[in-house]
A and B are shown apart, each in its own frame.
Chain A
Amino acid sequence: MRFIRLIVWKEFTQIRSDPLIIRLIVLPVLIQMFFLGYAITTEVKNTTITVVDRSNSPESVSLVQTVLHNRLFRFVGYASSESDARERIDRGDARLAIIIPADFAKGLSALSGADVSLIIDGQDANSSNISSGYITSIVTGWSLSFLKEKLAARGLRVRNVLPVEVHPVILYNPMLKSTWYMVPALAVVLVTMITALLTGFSIVKEKESGTLEQLMVTPISPVHVVLGKIVPYIVIGLFELSAVLVAATLWFGVPFHGNFLVLLLFGLIYMSSSLGIGILVSTVARNAQQVLFMLWFLLIFFLFLSGFFLALENMPVWVQNLTLINPLRYFMFILREMFLKGSGFAELWKQGLAMLLIGGIVFGASLLTFQRKVG
């Protein structure tokens, strides 16, 4: 225990004596927090749109107005023809074009219904998919209300004709804000980066400068060295987690319905994985550059399969199974559920247990490898 305390003291002194590293721990994290908080949005807003309205009837104007009133789209002016609209998309001036044919109004009142064409710039598969979904639902909504109006004009009560009455209620995120979903998850990314990178770096540096060998010839065992080394980074990690929580609630206005202490406990469990990965990588790596590349590589892999910005439910089953070994997945889920739904131990113990299991294996493996390679 005394040895561990000594190493802890040495690590803290080392961190304190390097003013740049302190600034680098605090500043980039804050910058990233604000950057990412705003940049990582799954919303698709201000999509440029152009319209060809050959019908020019009250109905077509009403439909166009309904679409354009939406803040999801930015109107860049009417196009004169379909080929003009195509050109605008080719030049990059518009990403969507709605084309309303001349017989639109006639078709609406006929049994056959009307046709509307939509041209989408498909370069970015994700956002084109989302904007086309928005347009589809706006058009469907408009035709439903058009139908209701038409029935009312004929003296029929809407209630008498439409079979069901639907009352949608949005829970947990009533304004449907992207930041409420993304900012809590961001904490996972930041905590992982800082804990894994700093631990990995502090070990590989001692390896490079030869001081690790010197430590090994003292009575301090490799296990003591590792345990002593990680303590400061656990403190930094928990501090960072709290900082993100404060920023998320105060700056981004994300409600926190969970229990703060439970959150820290889950954070502690999670860090056994992220620190373990840091130790493992630095044990295998020979220099700082390798640590950086390996960690970055792993982080991208884990982030992809964590549900951070790609929903896991959409992935093929074998990829979904692969995500079961990903500690980020569980911690991200826990944070999101705790923030927005106020879930606690009762609902999240399974995820916590999974993290504990993964963390135990990773951390144990990292201790063993370290002992074998260094000791």
Chain B
Amino acid sequence: MNPRVRALIRKEIWHILRDWQTLLIVLAMPVFMMFLYGYALDVNINDVKVMVEDPSPSPETRDLIRAIDQSSLFEVTGVVKSVANPGDVFKKFHVKALFRFSPDFSAALRRPGSPASIQVLIDGSDQNLGTILRNAAEPFLQKSALTILHVPVPATITLHQTILYNPQQKSAMYFVPGLMVIILMMISAMMTSLTITREKESGTLEQMLVSPIRAHEIMLGKIIPYIALAAIDGALILLVGFFVFGVTISGSLLLLTVASLIYIFTALALGLLISTIARKQEHAMMIVLPATVMPTVLLSGFIFPLTSIPIVLQWIAHAIPATYFLIVIRGIILKGVGLAELWKPMLALTGIGLFLMIVSIRKFRVKQ
């Protein structure tokens, strides 16, 4: 490496170390997010708060209410004799469902030939919860009513589930790869674009350009320290994932390292490109959030499954590097597959990276 680049790297490292507050955030953020995810993320839905309207209490209705309360899905927070306006129940008590027994419920239940009627009002605001409650209500109530009447429940279908790759459905297995994708993008794209625009604003970039240092050397000097910083953060995530949350890497660590470096390179290229467009730091910031971090979080398939979004957004999702890196990193960490299965997304990632780098170097040259 030539001495000019080395000098620039030393300068950039000084910049990073001097601003220890940013450095602290950069290093603490992934760890903090991991703990947040690790403890806050529970995808299982249980103990949904419901209320029961029981106009004529009887042993049967009491048994049914107890059955509802003891189920894993529901939790009865109140039983009332009559509800004048169901809307008030939902607005004031924030329950998710209201079971309304008919006045002749227990009589009808005991008399063969006339089913007892239950109306189930469901708060559909949260579409997911609404769907689950709607589908679960009838089978659950039929089964409970049969049990109360001491009638054997007819056996129908038993569903045996096998969950591959992450059999215990540990959330850590799911967020460690996702976090790598987000954090590496944030550090690489956000930090480079901001440090370059800062030098533009303060005029030091021009000073460097009139010195014997060439443009690509400036870029190299800017990029290398941030590659190192991003790599440290990536290693930190994997280490905390392994030691605290027990996430093991089923595939090749070497392939993971190579893929991560390609992804970091791509993100840096994106950061450089933004810095050639923006003249001020706040512009860079307003571009970098919607252009890099937002799509990475939303469209990579990390939180929201790609197949659920409209087709146009799926196209965009396939143009961003994060989508491919997530496939690769999940493949290596969870599935334990290798280059034979992952060469396509790896190739796409490399292609996007090279393309972005060439465009940003061109733009950078034109600008001077």
Q: Which residues from chain A sit less than 8 Å from chain B, CB to CB? A: 20-21, 24, 28, 31-32, 35-36, 38-48, 63, 74, 86, 89-92, 108, 111-130, 132-144, 146-147, 157, 159-160, 162-174, 176-178, 180-181, 193, 197, 201, 205, 285-290, 292-294, 296-297, 300-301, 304-305, 309-311, 313-316, 319, 336-337, 340-341, 343, 347
Q: Which A residues are CB-close (under 8 A) to B186?
A: 296
- CB-CB < 8 A to A28: which residues of B? 286-287, 289-290
B115 within 8 A of A: yes
B43 adjacent to A162 (CB under 8 Å): no
Assess whether A114 is in contact with B156, with CB atoms less than 8 Å apart.
yes
Q: Give which listed residue, B127, B295, B335, contacts A90 with CB less than 8 A.
A: B335
Please state if A315 and B42 are interface contacts (CB–CB under 8 Å): yes
Q: CA–CA, A162 to B26, complex, Å?
A: 61
CA gap between A132 and B43 in the complex, in Å:
12
**How many Å lie between the Cα of A82 and that of B121 in the bound state?**
41
* Cα separation A340 to B173 with both chains bound (whole Å): 35
| Residues of chain B at the chain A interface (Cβ within 8 Å) | 19, 21-22, 25-26, 29, 32-33, 36-37, 39-49, 86-87, 90-92, 109, 112-132, 134-139, 141-142, 145-146, 149, 151, 154-167, 169-171, 173-174, 186, 190-191, 194-195, 198, 279-283, 285-287, 289-290, 293-295, 298-299, 301, 303-305, 307-310, 313, 327, 330, 334-335, 337, 341
Query: A104 to chain B: closest CB distance in Å?
Result: 9
Contact A288 B285, CB 8 Å, known A163-B109, A311-B126: yes
Choose from B40, B165, B295, B309 the contact partner of A305 (Cβ within 8 Å): B40
A122–B308 CB distance below 8 A: no
Contact of B145 among A122, A123, A142, A164 (CB under 8 A): A164
Q: Give me the 4 closest cross-chain CB pairs, A-B, nearest first.
A: A113-B155, A137-B135, A143-B156, A173-B124
**Cβ–Cβ < 8 Å partners of B126 in chain A:** 42, 181, 311
Least CB separation from B102: chain A residue: A165
Which chain B residue shows the least CB distance to A170?
Answer: B124
Q: Is the CB of B136 within 8 A of A137?
A: yes
Residue of A nearest to B75 (CB): A313
Do B139 and A141 have beta carbons less than 8 Å apart?
Answer: yes
- 14 more contacts with CB within 8 A, not counting A41-B309, A134-B131, A292-B285, are A35-B299, A42-B128, A91-B341, A119-B164, A122-B165, A130-B128, A167-B120, A168-B137, A171-B90, A197-B285, A201-B285, A293-B29, A296-B190, A316-B42
> In the complex the two chains form, is B124's CB within 8 Å of A171's CB?
yes
Residues in A neighbouring B134, C-beta threshold 8 A: 168, 170, 176
Which residue of A117, A118, A125 has the most chain B CB atoms within 10 A of its CB atom? A125
| B75 CB to nearest A CB, Å | 10
Q: How many A-B residue pairs have CB under 8 A?
A: 331
Contacts of A123 in B (CB 8 A): 165-166, 174, 330, 334-335
B352 to chain A, nearest CB (A): 19
Q: Which of B41, B136, B137, B282 contacts A288 (CB 8 A)?
A: B282
Q: How far is the CB of A4 from the nearest CB of chain B, in Å?
A: 23
Given A135-B159, A289-B198, A300-B33; A144-B139 close (CB under 8 Å): yes
Q: How far is the CA of A205 from the CA of B282 in the complex (A)?
A: 9
- Whether A171 and B122, one on each chain, are in contact in the complex, defined by CB atoms closer than 8 angstroms, is yes
Contacts of B295 in A (CB 8 A): 35
Contacts of B130 in A (CB 8 A): 170, 173, 176
A125 to B134, CA, bound (A): 22
Q: How far is the CA of A121 from the CA of B166 in the complex (A)?
A: 8
Most buried by A among B137, B280, B286, B299: B286
**Contact A309–B194 (Cβ < 8 Å):** no
Determine which of A173, A201, A315 lies in contact with B40 in the assembled complex, contact meaning CB atoms within 8 Å.
A315
Asked if B283 and A181 make an inter-chain contact with CB atoms under 8 angstroms apart, the answer reads no
- Which residues from A are CB-within-8-Å of B117? 164-165, 167
Query: B19–A38 contact, CB under 8 A?
Result: no
Does B21 lie within 8 Å of A286, measured CB to CB?
yes
Expressed in whole angstroms, the minimum distance between the Cβ of B190 and any Cβ of chain A is: 7
Contact flag A180-B127 (CB < 8 Å), given A114-B156, A290-B22 = yes
Check A163–B146 contact: CB distance below 8 A.
Answer: yes
Contact A43 B127 (CB under 8 A): yes
Chain B min CB distance to A94 (Å): 11
A178 to B305, CA, bound (A): 13
Q: List 13 A-B contacts (CB under 8 A).
A: A20-B280, A41-B304, A42-B126, A74-B307, A114-B158, A122-B166, A129-B44, A163-B115, A176-B124, A201-B282, A297-B25, A297-B32, A314-B44
Known contacts: A28-B286, A122-B164, A341-B91. The answer to whether A44 contacts B308 by CB under 8 A is yes
Which of chain B's residues have a CB closer than 8 A to the CB of A20?
Answer: 279-280, 283
In the bound complex, residues from chain A placing their C-beta under 8 Å from that of B36 are 301, 304-305
Contact of B159 among A136, A305, A347 (CB under 8 A): A136
Q: How far is the CB of A176 from chain B (nearest CB, A)?
A: 4
* Residue contact B118 to A165, C-beta cutoff 8 Å: yes
Is A39 in contact with B299, judged by CB distance below 8 angstroms? yes
Closest A residue to B158 using CB positions: A115
Q: Once the chains are docked, how many angstroms separate the CA of A127 from the CA of B226?
A: 34
Most buried by B among A86, A91, A168, A304: A168
Q: How far is the CA of A173 from the CA of B294 in the complex (A)?
A: 28
Complex Cα–Cα for A330 and B46 (A): 23
| Residues of chain A with a CB closer than 8 A to B138's CB | 141, 144, 166, 168
